[in-house]
């Protein structure tokens, strides 16, 4: 990488000498004759370092150093000074100078000092970037990710979270749907209230009504005491209905009614109980297709699909894989009391190549195993699960294809089909990711022949 510096001195012969000596070493030299000109150039262009004299007409070198350090603290300033002028050197360092170069200038020494200064600047810039990435990745307590796909998710959470709007979260298993639901709750005015999560597919069909609506004593054989339903338990907070596609058809109209009226009658009771909840639902199935196949009620679908939030699979978030991995390494290192620092370059390369069909949940489990197995201080390839170590497929999508020479329509076709594939054919989720409505997506798929093949 070429290093670009600004030399500030009113001696044109010295400036030309520096340019002549440093250019062959990969250092591009630009020149300013006064401090005012130098400050203007630094404000307009990016440099890796500034090399300045102190005694110049107009703005003195001390003032230039102070103004540069105040406005661009990561930009190192090197000062040209006489070797015996100790007081001047001390003053320059107090003003914020990074290093000193004595006159007459030794070009080899100057080149070395400039390269060290540029390396320092790059390191500080990288630290700043990583801090920004980590801060962005932790915008929400339960979510980690800095990819463009996750930025869109964060934006929706920030916009919708403070409202009471019903949200439908779609995405493959393991993409973090419950984590998003919890983040929505934390962003809402109901954050002090309860967050009640229920997996609709994990409750037997004979008990689902009792779980949701509650029951009174003696309502059925085993009802020895009255029980408050989940809708009432979530009063004042958020009810998260995970895998809502698994809700029995017979229960769906009853749920729709209580959601519309905000009143529920426990099984076996003559009295209705009012409740106030914010509903968030989630599924990994194509509810739109289920509605068309009469496997899910259309009216309930419209009731829960007020705001649609589609979560991307991990394979289209390649930039987040190592960020998530480091997050889990830190977590499990603390849990297991093992001082691990992170991934070795070889292990990181294997993880980036793996497709992660189980998404974030699979990555979390892999890191838990790796931390438990690793002797340290870095996770090695041997510590990874066998399926990750030995994977030979293509790496996850990075978001770019070498298709710049293709017609725009072909680029669009490939992108739409790729997004549809990433969502396992879920057209509702794919249309949400693409930012188009379902009818538009269906028309395009018909034109591509995808619907006819189906």
Residue 248, class by beta-carbon neighbours within 10 Å (0-12 exposed, 13-18 middle, 19+ buried)?
middle
User: Does the pLDDT value for residue 454 go beyond 50?
Assistant: no
User: Does the pLDDT value for residue 138 go beyond 60?
Assistant: no
Enter the tokens of residue 213. 């609506």
pLDDT over 70 percentage in the chain = 87
The CATH superfamily label for domain 148-219+226-310 reads P-loop containing nucleotide triphosphate hydrolases (3.40.50.300)
pLDDT of residue 8: 93
CB atoms near residue 405 (< 10 Å): 7
Of the candidates 433, 451, 434, the one whose C-alpha atom is nearest the C-alpha of residue 442 is 451
Query: What CATH number should be reported for the domain whose range is 3-133?
Result: 3.40.50.2300
Question: Is the bond preceding residue 377 a cis peptide, omega within 30 degrees?
Answer: yes
Torsion sign, CA atoms 224, 228, 231, 234: negative
313 touches 359 (CB < 8 A): yes
Banded pLDDT at 387 (limits 50, 70, 90):
very high
Residue 127, class by beta-carbon neighbours within 10 Å (0-12 exposed, 13-18 middle, 19+ buried)?
exposed
Q: How far is CA 281 from CA 110, 157, 183, 426, 446, in A?
A: 64, 14, 13, 16, 30
User: Does the pLDDT value for residue 44 go beyond 80?
Assistant: yes
User: Does the pLDDT value for residue 58 go beyond 60?
Assistant: yes
pLDDT of residue 274: 92
CB atoms near residue 293 (< 10 Å): 9
Banded pLDDT at 78 (limits 50, 70, 90):
very high
Q: What span, in angstroms and rounded, lies between the C-alpha atoms of 253 and 341?
A: 53
pLDDT of residue 93: 82
Q: Where are the domains of the chain?
A: 3-133, 148-219+226-310, 314-389, 408-453
Greater pLDDT, 400 or 174: 174
User: Does the pLDDT value for residue 418 go beyond 90?
Assistant: no
Look over the chain and give the mean of its residue pLDDT values, rounded to a whole number: 85
User: Does the pLDDT value for residue 85 go beyond 80?
Assistant: no
Are domains 148-219+226-310 and 314-389 of this chain identical in fold? no
100 touches 92 (CB < 8 A): yes
Banded pLDDT at 88 (limits 50, 70, 90):
confident
Enter the tokens of residue 144. 């980690």
- Span 107-125, pLDDT tens digits: 999 999 999 888 878 767 7
Read off the pTM: 0.60
pLDDT of residue 168: 97
- Span 279-313, pLDDT tens digits: 999 999 999 999 999 999 999 999 999 999 999 99
Thinking of the domain 314-389, which architecture would CATH place it in?
Answer: Orthogonal Bundle (1.10)
- What integer is the mean pLDDT of 322-338? 88
pLDDT of residue 353: 85
- Span 184-219, pLDDT tens digits: 999 999 999 999 999 998 998 888 988 899 878 766
Q: Is 408-453 CATH 1.10.10.10?
A: no
DSSP labels, 437-453: -HHHHHHHHHHHTHHHH
Per DSSP (E only), the strands in 22-161 are: 27-32, 49-52, 77-82, 99-103
User: Does the pLDDT value for residue 261 go beyond 70?
Assistant: yes
Of the candidates 355, 357, 249, the one whose C-alpha atom is nearest the C-alpha of residue 297 is 249
Q: How far is CA 282 from CA 106, 157, 251, in A?
A: 68, 15, 17
User: Does the pLDDT value for residue 404 go beyond 50?
Assistant: no
- What integer is the mean pLDDT of 216-242? 84
pLDDT of residue 442: 81
pLDDT of residue 1: 66
């Amino acid at each position: 990488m070429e290093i670009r510096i600004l030399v500030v001195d009113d001696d044109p012969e010295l400036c030309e000498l520096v340019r002549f000596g440093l250019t062959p070493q990969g250092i591009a030299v630009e020149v300013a004759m006064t401090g005012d000109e130098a400050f203007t150039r630094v404000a307009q262009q990016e440099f890796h370092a500034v090399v300045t004299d102190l005694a110049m007409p107009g703005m003195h070198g001390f003032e230039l150093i102070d103004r540069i350090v105040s406005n661009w603290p990561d930009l190192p300033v090197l000062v040209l000074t006489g070797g015996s002028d100790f007081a001047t050197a001390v003053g320059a360092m107090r003003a914020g100078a990074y290093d000193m170069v004595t006159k007459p200038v030794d070009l080899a020494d100057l080149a070395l000092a400039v390269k060290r200064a540029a390396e320092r600047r790059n390191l500080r810039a990288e630290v700043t970037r990583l801090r920004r990435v980590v801060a962005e990745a932790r915008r929400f307590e339960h979510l980690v990710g800095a990819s463009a796909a996750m930025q869109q998710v964060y934006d929706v959470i920030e916009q919708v979270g403070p409202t009471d709007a019903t949200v439908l979260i779609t995405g493959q298993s393991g993409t973090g749907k419950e984590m998003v639901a919890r983040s929505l709750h934390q962003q809402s005015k109901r954050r002090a209230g309860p967050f009640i999560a229920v997996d609709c597919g994990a409750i037997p069909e004979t008990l689902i009504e009792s779980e949701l609506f509650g029951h009174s004593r003696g309502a059925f054989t085993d009802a020895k005491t009255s029980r408050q339903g989940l809708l009432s338990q979530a009063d004042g907070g958020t009810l998260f209905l995970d895998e809502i596609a698994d809700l029995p058809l017979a229960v769906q109209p009853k749920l729709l009614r209580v959601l519309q009226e905000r009143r529920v009658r426990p099984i076996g009771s003559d009295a209705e109980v009012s409740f106030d909840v914010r509903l968030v639902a989630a599924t990994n199935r194509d509810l739109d297709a289920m509605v068309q196949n009469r496997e899910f009620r259309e009216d309930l679908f419209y009731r829960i699909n007020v705001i649609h939030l589609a979560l991307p699979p991990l394979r289209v978030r390649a930039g987040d894989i190592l960020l998530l991995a480091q997050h889990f390494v830190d977590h499990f290192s603390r849990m297991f009391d093992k001082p691990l620092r992170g991934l070795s370059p070889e292990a990181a390369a294997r993880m980036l190549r793996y497709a992660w069909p189980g998404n974030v949940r699979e990555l979390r489990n892999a890191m838990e195993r790796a931390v438990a197995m690793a002797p340290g201080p870095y996770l090695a390839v041997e510590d990874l699960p066998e399926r990750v170590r030995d994977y030979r497929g293509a790496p996850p999508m990075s978001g770019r294809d070498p298709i710049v020479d293709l017609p725009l329509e072909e680029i669009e076709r490939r992108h739409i089909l790729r997004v549809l594939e990433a969502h396992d054919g879920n057209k509702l989720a794919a249309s949400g990711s693409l930012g188009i409505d379902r009818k538009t997506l269906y028309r395009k798929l018909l034109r591509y022949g995808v619907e006819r093949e189906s």
